[in-house]
A and B are shown apart, each in its own frame.
Chain A
Amino acid sequence: MKLSFYQRNADRIRIFFFILVMFIITLPIILGYLWLVLRSFSVDMNGFVPTELTLKNWRFLWTSMKGYPNIWRTTMNTAFVALMVMAIEALLTSMGGYALSRYDFPGRSNLMKFILVLHAFPSVSLMVALYYVLKYLHLLDNLWGIILLKASLEIPWGTWVMKGFYDGIPWEMEWAGLVDGYTRLQVWRKIILPLVKPGIAVTAVFAFLSGWSEFIFINTFIFSQEFWTLSKYVKATIGDFRFADYGLLAAVGLFYAIPTIVLFFLVSKYMIKLTIGGVKG
C-alpha cells in the first residue's frame, strides 16, 4: 500500500505543529525576558535590536541615585529578609511536621483541622489586623516585623509539607534508634532529620524565594528608605522612570530577578537528583 507524505510523516508533522503552537503561546514570556536582558545593556532599542550597547543603565550599582537609598544596603535588606524567613520556616516546620507525623497527643486531629481552616483566611484578607498587631508590637517599619509575618503565614503550609516527608520514613528507623538508647530528641536530630533533607530543602528554597520577592508587606508596613528592599526600590523606579528611562528599569529589574532565576535552575537539577537518589537506609 502506498502512503501519502502526510500519512507517512503524521507523527512528525504533529510534533512539529505542537512545538510551533507551544512556541507561539510562550512567545510573550520569551520576548519579555529577552527584552529585559537586552534593554538593560542598550542605549535604546529599535524593536529588539539594540541601537548601541552601554553599561550606563547599571549606573545605580556604583553611583548613588538622587532620592533613592543605597542599592547595596537595599540588597542586604532583601537578603536579610529572605534568609531569616528561610531559617525560621525551615526550623519550625521541620519541628512541627515531626510532632504531627509521629506523636499522638490530645487535640492532634483538631490542631490539624485548625491549620487547614486558617487557610480560608488568605494573608491579604488580614492586612488590616496585621497592621494593628505590628503596631501593637512596635514592629511597624521594622524588617523583623516583615520576617515574622512572612514566616508565620507560611508555616502552617510548610508544616503540612514536612509532615508528608516525615510520613514517608518507616517507623523502624525510630525504633532502632530508641533501642540503641537515644532519646526522642536525639532520634529526631541524628536519625530522622538527615532523612528529610529533601523536604527541608524544598521548604527552605520556597521560603527564600517568597522572602526575596515580598512586595505587598514591604509596601504597606515599611516607611523608611533605610529599610527598603529591592521590591520597593524597583516599584519606586517604575513610578519615577517608566516613560523616561526603560534602560534603567530593565537593569534594576534584572538585578533583582537574577538570584531567583539562578536559584530556580540550580534547584530544579538538585530535585531531579533527589528523586533518583531516594531514601537510602
Chain B
Amino acid sequence: MKKTAWIFLSPMLVMVTIFFFIPVILTIVLSFTDMDYQFQWNFVGFSNFKDIATDFIIPKVTTNTLIYTFTTLGLFNVGSALLISLLTTSIPDKWGGFFRTLWMLPRLTPSVVYGLLWLWIFDPTEHGLLNFMRMSMGLPPQNWLYRAPMFIVVVANGFIGASMGMLIFTAAIKAIPIDYYRAALLDGASWWMITRKITLPLIKWQVLFVTAYQTLSLLTSFEYILIITDGGPVFRTEVWSLYTYHMAFSNYRFGYGAALSVVLVIMGIIFAIAYLRLFKFEALMQKPKVEVD
C-alpha cells in the first residue's frame, strides 16, 4: 500500500525538488556569496546584506514598491474588484457575465500583448489613445510615460489584478441566500442599504483574504513593469523585484540579486504574519473534513 503511494508521488517530487526546492535553498546560499558571471563560489558572509542597507537606490526602490503595491491593491485588486462584483451582481446576469468576461481578458492575454495595449494608450505621440483624445480637444500631446510612469504601471497591473478579486467576491455574493435580500426588500431597504448591511458584512472574509493574498502577489510581480517601463525613467518605477532582476541579469551580480530576493521573501513573510494577526485568519483555518491523518 505504502509503496504505491510513492509510485504516484515520486515523479512530482523529483521535479519539484530539482526545480523548486533546490533553487530555494540555493537562493539562500547564493545570497552569502559574491557570485558574478564567472560563477565562482566565494563566500562573503553578510556583506551583501550590508550592501543592501547602504545601497543608495534602495530607499527609492522601497518607496516605489510600497506605493505600487498598496495603490494597485486599494484602487484595483480590492477596490475595483469589489465595485465590479457588486455592480455586476445587481444587473441582469446576461450583462453581468458579459462585463466579467471582458475583465478576464487581460489576465488571459499574453503579457507582452497586454503591455502593448497600454503602450498604445499612453503613447507620447498623437497615435496614442489619450493623446488622440487630448488633440481632438485642442490640447498638445503629453509624454505620459515620462510624466506619470507610476500611474501607468499601477493602472496596467490593476486591470489584471482586479479579476481575481472579482471572481472570488462574485462567487461569495451569489452564495448569499436570496431570503436575506427578500426580507430586506420587504422592509423597504434601498440597494445601498442592502449592500452595506447585508452583502458587505457577509463577504468580509473574502475581502480580507484577497487583500492579504494580493499584497503578496503584487510585492513580487514585475513582469508588466519590465515590459511597459523597464523600471524607468531613471528608477521611477523600479520596484524591489525588478531591481533584483536587473541586478542579477543586467549587472550579473548574482550573489547580490539572491540577497535582494531573500530580503523580499522575508518582507513577504512579515506581511503575511501581520495579516494573519490583524485579520484573525486562524478562525478560518478549520481542519478540512477530508483530511484523514
Specify which chain B residues have a CB less than 8 angstroms from the CB of A242 in the assembled complex. Answer: 119
Structural contact, B102 and A246, CB atoms closer than 8 A: no
Interchain CA distance A19-B238 in the complex, whole Å: 37
Judge whether B154 is part of the interface by a CB distance below 8 angstroms: no
Cβ–Cβ contact A105 & B125, under 8 A: no
Q: Mark A9-26, 1 if CB is under 8 A from B, else 0.
A: 000001100110111011
If over half of B's interface residues share one DSSP class (helix, strand or loop), that class is named, otherwise mixed; here it is: helix
Instruction: Select B129's contact among A14, A31, A106, beta carbons within 8 Å.
Output: A31
Query: Could you tell me which residues of chain B, from 102 to 116, have a CB within 8 Å of some CB in chain A?
Result: 102-106, 108-113, 115-116
Given A15-B90, A128-B27, A238-B119, A33-B105 contact (CB < 8 Å) = yes
A81-127, CB < 8 A from B: 88, 91-93, 95-96, 98-101, 103-106, 108-109, 111, 115, 118, 120-122, 124-127
B220 is contacted by which of A25, A118, A122 (Cβ under 8 Å)?
Answer: A122
Q: Closest residue of chain B to A16, judged by CB?
A: B91
A231–B39 CB distance below 8 A: no
- A213 to B115: give the CA distance in the assembly, Å: 12
Cβ of A215 < 8 Å from any Cβ of B?
A: yes
A127 touches B2 (CB 8 A): no
Which of B8, B191, B261: most chain A Cβ within 10 A? Answer: B8
Complex interface bits, B127-144 against A, C-beta within 8 A gives 1, otherwise 0: 101001000100000000
- The answer to whether the Cβ of B292 comes within 8 Å of any Cβ in the partner chain is yes
Check if B19 sits within 8 Å of A153, measured CB to CB.
yes
Interchain nearest-CB distance for A63 vs B (Å):
22
Q: B12–A256 contact, CB under 8 A?
A: no
How far, in whole Å, are A29 and B108 apart by their CA atoms in the complex? 13
Cβ contacts under 8 Å, A32 to chain B: 117-118, 120-121
Chain A residues contacting B39 (CB-CB under 8 Å) are 132, 135
Residues of A within 8 A of B249 (CB): 127, 131, 220
Q: How far does the alpha carbon of A261 sit from the alpha carbon of B291 in the complex, in Å? A: 37
Q: With A99-B9, A124-B220, A260-B109 known to touch, is A18 a contact of B87 (CB < 8 Å)? A: yes
Q: A121 contacts B112, CB within 8 Å?
A: no
Q: CA separation between A208 and B15, bound complex, in Å?
A: 18
**B261-A29 in contact (CB<8A):** no
- Closest residue on chain A to residue B162 by CB atoms: A25
B241 within 8 A of A: yes
Contact of A149 among B19, B115, B120, B245 (CB under 8 A): B19
Q: Which residues of B contact A238 (CB under 8 A)?
A: 112, 115-116, 119, 227
Bound: A93/B8 CA distance, A: 9
Contacts of A279 in B (CB 8 A): none
Residue of A nearest to B156 (CB): A28
* Residue B5 at the chain A interface, CB threshold 8 Å: yes
Whether B59 sits at the interface, judged by CB under 8 Å, is no
Kindly identify which residue among A101, A108, A216, A260 contacts B290, using a CB–CB cutoff of 8 Å.
Answer: A101
**Interface presence of A212 (CB below 8 A):** yes
CB atoms of A126 and B11 under 8 A apart: no
B226:A260 contact, CB within 8 angstroms: no
For residues 199 through 242 of chain B, which have their beta carbon under 8 Å from a beta carbon of chain A?
Answer: 216-217, 220-223, 226-227, 241
User: Which residues of the other chain, B, contact A129 by a CB distance below 8 angstroms?
Assistant: 22-24, 26-27, 30, 258
B76 to chain A, nearest CB (A): 10
Q: List the B side residues contacting A122 at CB < 8 Å.
A: 216-217, 220, 268
B24–A105 touching, CB < 8 Å: no
Nearest CB to that of A167 among chain B residues? B290
User: Known contacts A120-B269, A130-B23: does B15 contact A92 (CB below 8 Å)?
Assistant: yes
Q: Counting CB contacts under 8 A, is B151 at the interface?
A: no
CA distance A257 to B111 in the complex (A): 10
Contact B112 A234 (CB under 8 A): yes
Shortest A205–chain B CB gap in Å is 10
Smallest Cβ-Cβ distance to A243: which chain B residue: B125
> Are B11 and A92 touching (Cβ within 8 A)?
yes
User: Does any Cβ of A come within 8 Å of B198's Cβ?
Assistant: no
Interface contact A212-B290, CB-CB below 8 Å: no
Q: How far is the CA of A23 from the CA of B91 in the complex (A)?
A: 12
Q: Is B101 an interface residue (CB 8 A)?
A: yes
The 8 closest A-B pairs by CB, nearest first: A152-B19, A103-B5, A99-B8, A129-B23, A129-B26, A32-B117, A96-B12, A213-B110
- Taking A22-B87, A33-B105, A231-B110 as given, write out 16 further A-B residue pairs in contact, using a Cβ cutoff of 8 Å, ordered by the A residue number: A15-B92, A18-B87, A22-B84, A22-B91, A111-B9, A125-B265, A127-B245, A127-B261, A131-B249, A152-B18, A152-B19, A159-B12, A188-B8, A234-B113, A246-B127, A250-B116
